[in-house]
Structure 1
Amino acid sequence: MATHWKVRPYLLTGGRTHVRHRLLVHTLVSVPYYDAAFAGGLLPEARGLYEQARVTRSVAELSASCGVSLGVTRVILGDLAASDRVRIHPETYDSPYDRNLLERVRDGLLRLA
């Protein structure tokens, strides 16, 4: 029987929960210049996030597509941003409760239904 190990979130983040950048679930992230050699040296979770961000995506989308918890995703993306490996796009909304944002979320959910 194969043994599957789950890496605890605190091991992936070094026990950190603080994020250097303001990363909300709708914050957009992208990789400005992909570096395959750099990606090869990352832990699998960080590599997955780095590779998925080659196409601009939200923090929530990256978390879901890579199967990494939102908290861990924020810490890893913060580390990648601090080393200029990912770009955190400026917020286009003053509040996460902005009417335009809520309408976009609603429309996206309707498309999924």
Structure 2
Amino acid sequence: MDPWGQPPGAEPWDQEPGTPWGRQPGAPIPEEPASPVRPFTVTGGRTTPRMQLALEALVSSATTTHYDLSTRPPEFRAIASLCRQVRSVAEVSALLRIPLGVVRVVIADMAAEGLVHVHQPQLEAGKPDLNL
């Protein structure tokens, strides 16, 4: 057998469609465990951030030294740690697997407290910066 599970001499068109990674046809797709906390409980039910945050807005940690976030929610700690390297709002959402709306609210709250810096894209008449 080759590394892709094909018997010797088998052609790709000999395979059953829709059976990737050795799953049997009709087998359920495995689900990731659900979070015990609903996403919007993190934001106290708020769905609108304090400031507009574009998907491509860059977020960086505001402190170069370790800031004690032990009394803050775990999302604050995760975002502060992740943003030691500059990340976009969309990246933060994807990497932490937190819905984009929740990430926007939390990042805006953190920016208001001075925990992160937000670098918004500069748009002129709705067009992106040519320096990009």
TM-score by length of 2: 0.64
Structure 2 residue 130 is matched with structure 1 residue 90 = no
Structure 2 residue 52 is matched with structure 1 residue 28 = no
Describe the SS at the equivalent of 1:72. helix
How much identity, in percent, do the aligned residues show? 34
One-letter amino acid matched to 2:84: R
Structure 2 Cα separation of the partners of residues 73 and 4 of structure 1: 18
One-letter amino acid matched to 1:56: V
One-letter amino acid matched to 1:83: E
Larger relative contact order (Cα-Cα within 8 Å, sequence gap ≥ 6): 1
Alignment size in residue pairs:
99
Deviations 1:7-34 (A, max 9, x none): 1122100010111112111001111215
Counterpart residue number, 2:109: 79
User: CA offset at residue 65 of structure 1?
Assistant: 0.9
User: CA, structure 1 residues 5+26, in 2 after alignment: closer, same or farther (shift >3 Å)?
Assistant: closer
Whose helix proportion is higher, 1 or 2? 1
Structure 2 Cα separation of the partners of residues 37 and 98 of structure 1: 34
Structure 2 residue 108 is matched with structure 1 residue 58 = no
Q: Return 5+ residue gaps in structure 2 as ranges.
A: 1-32
Structure 1 segments, 4+ long, off by >3 Å, are 34-37, 97-101
One-letter amino acid matched to 2:52: R
- CA root-mean-square deviation: 2.4
User: CA offset at residue 49 of structure 1?
Assistant: 1.1
One-letter amino acid matched to 2:94: A
